[in-house]
Amino acid sequence: MAYRKEILHKVRQDYNQKRTRALGEAADRLSALHEQYPDLAAIDSALAKTGMNLVQEIVKGSEGINERIAAVRLENERLQKDRADMLVFYGFSPDYTDVKYECTKCQDTGYVETEPCLCYKKALAKEALDYAGLSRLAAKQSFDSFDLKYYQGDNRAMMEKVLASCKRYADGFHAKADSLLFIGNTGLGKTHLSTSIAVEVVNKGHEVVYTSAPNLFSALEAEKFGREASLTMQEVLDAEFLLIDDLGTENPSALNNNFLYNIVNTRLITAKPTLINTNLMPADLMKRYTDRLASRLLGEYAVLRFVGNDIRLQKIGF
C-alpha cells in the first residue's frame, strides 16, 4: 500500500489507542468483580497458578509426564467451568471479563498474523479520504449512485460510454495511468464521476490530492508570497493522483496560468496521472489559457465530453 506516512501513523495510533482502551476496560471490569466477589478472585488466583504448575510438572522429569500434564489441564478446565458458572450466578455473562475488541479477527492490532486485516485496510482508506478532503463528497457520490435516468436519447448513449470509461479507468488505475480531462456544461456529473474515480483510487491504496481550482490557486499564491498555505506546489507535483475540480472558476491571472502550466507540464513529464474537470469548452480553454497549456490539456489528456441537461435543475423540476 502506498499511503503516505501521515495516514499510516494516524491509523496506527488509532489502533494502538483502541487496543489499549479495550485491555484497560477489561482490567477495570475484572478488578471491580474481584473487589465485590472474593470467591471469584480466588478462582482467578488458582487459574493463574496452573501455568506455573504445568511448568513444574514438566521439570520433574519424563516419568508419568503425560498423566501429570493431563491432571493439570483437567484442573484448569474445572476452574474455568466454575468461573463461568459463578459469573452467571452473579448475573454476568461468562465472557464478561474478556477483552472486548472492536475486531475479533485481529484483536485491534490491524494484522492477522502477518497480513493486514480487512478492518485495517478500511481504516486506511477512510483516513485517506479524510486526508484528501473527499469524505463529504464520497458519502453521496459513487459509481453506484450515478443515475443515467437524467440523460435521454443520444445523450444517454454517450454518457453510458463515459460512465463505462470512468469505471475502466478506476478499475485499472496505476501510478502511470493516463490523465483525464472532463469537459461539459455545469450540472452534468463531472464532479460526481471525478469523485467516484478518486474514491476507487484511494481504496486501492494510492495517495489522492483533491482540490477545487479556486482553492488550489489561492493556496499556491499564499505559498509564493510567504503566507500559510493549505497546499504546496511540491505536494501537488508529487501526488500520485491529482484531481482539480472546476477549472476555469478561478480568478484569471498570469500568475494562476503559470501555476497551472507548471502543474500540467511537470506531471506530464513525470507521468503522474491528473484528472481535471471544467465547464469550459475547447475553444474557451484556448481563449482563456495559453496555446501551449491548452494544447497539452486537449492533446495529451484523454478527453471525456459530458452532455445533457443540468441534472440539478431537473431534480427541482426545471
Residue-wise pLDDT tens digits, 182-198: 999 999 999 999 999 99
Going from the C-alpha of 26 to that of each of 18, 38, 96, 104, 125, the distances in angstroms are 12, 18, 8, 14, 29
| Bridge partner list, 243 | 210, 275
3 state DSSP class of 212: strand
DSSP state letter for 276 = E
Radius of gyration of the chain (CA): 30
Q: Pick from 119, 118, 275, 122: which is nearest to 203 by CA?
A: 122
The residues pairing with 271 across neighbouring beta strands, listed in sequence order, are none
| Between residues 66 and 276, the one the model is more confident about | 276
In angstroms, the CA 79 to CA 57 distance is 18
**What gap in Å lies between CA 274 and CA 268, rounded to an integer?**
9
CA angle 141, 245, 185 (to 5 degrees): 85
Nearest 5°: phi and psi at 285?
-60, -40
Instruction: Please report which confidence band the pLDDT of residue 172 belongs to, taking 50, 70 and 90 as the band edges.
Output: very high
pTM summary value: 0.71
Selected residue with higher pLDDT from 89 and 126 = 89
- Flag whether pLDDT at 160 surpasses 70: yes
pLDDT at res. 140: 84
Length of the chain: 318
Which one of 63-72, 126-135, 290-299 scores highest in mean pLDDT? 290-299
Which three three-digit cell numbers place residue 204?
A: 486501492
Residue 264, Cβ density class (10 Å: 0-12 exposed, 13-18 middle, ≥19 buried): buried
In this predicted structure, the answer to whether residue 318 has a pLDDT above a threshold of 70 is: no
- pLDDT (tens digit per residue) in 102-141: 999 999 999 999 998 989 988 988 888 888 778 888 788 8
